[in-house]
Structure 1
């Protein structure tokens, strides 16, 4: 026995299960990239992944669960890329904002499949709409933490940071949808520059409690 169960083909059972799960996610990404949500079916995904339905249900209870996991993976990749870029950017507000936006947008602008996943999430699909809201709040939390660390926690209250970052994160996602769909026909550098300046301008806004 090895950690994670019995070993087959040099890999523990849990590692093989995770490998199959990743194959299914990649297959779903390809299917959506080619035909959008209409291309996503259990049969199509299993055929692309070279797996039977038995292995599909080992990883996901249904197609909605697969779609949610795929959406999570794209948003998490965008967030991780942005956080890494901000961490290595010069210690200057606009430079850090631009770096984070450029890195995050690059994840989806350089891979049309991932862009399609984001666009599907705004198309009205029920479970995705709820997950989209949840991830928006999660991303805003990451932004809030970075913003307060940069400007100083004593200058920006948690509530002010939350108000600002949720507003910005929601606007950013909607604006990115417009740009990815082609509705907003402007060069990427202008999109990044405009959003970066908007965030820097609003980052330290302080509102007075009425209660």
Structure 2
């Protein structure tokens, strides 16, 4: 394999995404991903349980960032304002690499199994946000509604950000989407 190079996990993610875009998710093997990254399949499995998780490895961190932000929102904040703080945290976590996000989005939208996995991730995020709102004293039904609305904003804003032609910041698109939701409910 040659001399050791740092950031094996990052190299594996980039190699996998490149191959998924070039050949398709189903047609790409773990061995090919590892070879493209200059690593072994064994190294791949030290970082990811399967090739699907290359695309979802950050889900737990995203959930933690969002819930921490929501719980840490000012005490007087309404449930939707607290969800807005969580969306700001999501934008900070997801908005750093638009090219990666675009390619990841293309791969996921081209594969039904990956779309299903993405929906599961969103359902878990919603449940975690609702739980955080519950810890803030929000009634369960209201917490679930606010969390689901927040996840809808996240999905719509993220898709607008990755598919839009203009180079805007994800946080800006997210806040604009929250404002649009507020105007729709007036």
TM-score, normalised to structure 1, is: 0.61
Matched with 2:33 is 45
Matched with 1:125 is 111
Instruction: Sort the Cα spacing of 1:175 and 1:114 in 2 relative to 1 into closer, same or farther, 3 A.
Output: same
Q: Is the 8 A contact 1:97 1:199 kept in 2?
A: no
Q: Is the 8 A contact 1:86 1:99 kept in 2?
A: yes
What do residues 133-189 of structure 1 show as CA deviations (whole Å, max 9, x unaligned)? Answer: 211111110111122333x24xx2x34533443354134213211212225776545
TM superposition shift of 1:129: 1.3
TM superposition shift of 1:70: 2.3
Matched position secondary structure for 1:72 = coil
Instruction: Sort the Cα spacing of 1:146 and 1:171 in 2 relative to 1 into closer, same or farther, 3 A.
Output: same
Instruction: Sort the Cα spacing of 1:184 and 1:161 in 2 relative to 1 into closer, same or farther, 3 A.
Output: farther
Over aligned residues, Cα RMSD in angstroms?
A: 3.7
Structure 1: how far apart are the matches of 2:56 and 2:156? 17
Structure 2: how far apart are the matches of 1:28 and 1:88? 34
Structure 1: how far apart are the matches of 2:104 and 2:35? 24
Matched, 1:73 2:57: yes
Higher RCO (C-alpha 8 Å, min separation 6): 2
TM-score, normalised to structure 2, is: 0.67
Matched with 1:136 is 122
Structure 2: how far apart are the matches of 1:35 and 1:47? 11
Where does structure 2 lack aligned partners over 5 or more consecutive residues?
Answer: 1-6
